[in-house]
Copies of this chain bind each other. A is one copy, B any other.
Amino acid sequence: MTISEENYIKVIYHLSLVSPKGVNTNAIAGMLDTKASSVTDMLKKLSEKELVSYQKYQGVTLTDKGFYSAKMIVRKHRLWEVFLVDKLNFSWDEVHEIAEELEHIKSENLINKLDAFLDFPSFDPHGDPIPNADGEIKKINKLLLSETELNKEYQCVGVKDSSSEFLQYLDKQKIALGSKITVKEKESFDDTLLVQIDSRQLTISNKIANNLYVK
């Protein structure tokens, strides 16, 4: 697979988690910052290689082969992110871009040795699960902060939006994966939350609450 093909497969994977019936051409184009006509061209090629099932106008899904390939790319991406944060002391808002390049390095041996070196982590720095060498993914029951019950203690386990702006906001508010969070009050007018984080009180907008996973 070329780097371009890998990027398409990965995007189709991510989109198919949301629309399992079939992924739209325009959605793919949007994620890859390219044009729908280019996507159509690539879908034909991926279909030829039996990485996706594609009938024109009907959207696209991954074949088993494509699904496995996608998970291996995601595995590489997330393991490299762990390496960058845990070993090289990058902060969690700096690693995504670099991992976008590292995920295309070809050696399977490399990624398995990296996995061992990192002690077989199950989650990346953003709380996303890391597929193991067989493509199996550990699921956890997480929910958005906006969906939690009042006065019940949760633990922060991930982010939905992993843009550096959002991650830097969390850093500024000293909210990290592992932080204990309890929603004390919910303002019905705008869904703003009054929360207790570790031992601090904080007011959190609905937008934030919709992008923070807890369990």
Q: Enumerate chain A interface residues (CB-CB to B < 8 A).
A: 84, 87-90, 94, 97-98, 101-102, 105-107, 109-110, 113-114, 117
Contact = CB atoms under 8 A, between A and B. Distances in A.
A114 B101 contact: no
A98 B88 contact: no
Given A88-B117, A117-B87, A117-B88, A106 B110 contact: no
Number of copies: 2
Contact of A110 (B88, B107, B109): B88
Contacts of A114: 88
B113 A89 contact: yes
A101 B105 contact: yes
B101 A113 contact: no
Nearest to A114: B88
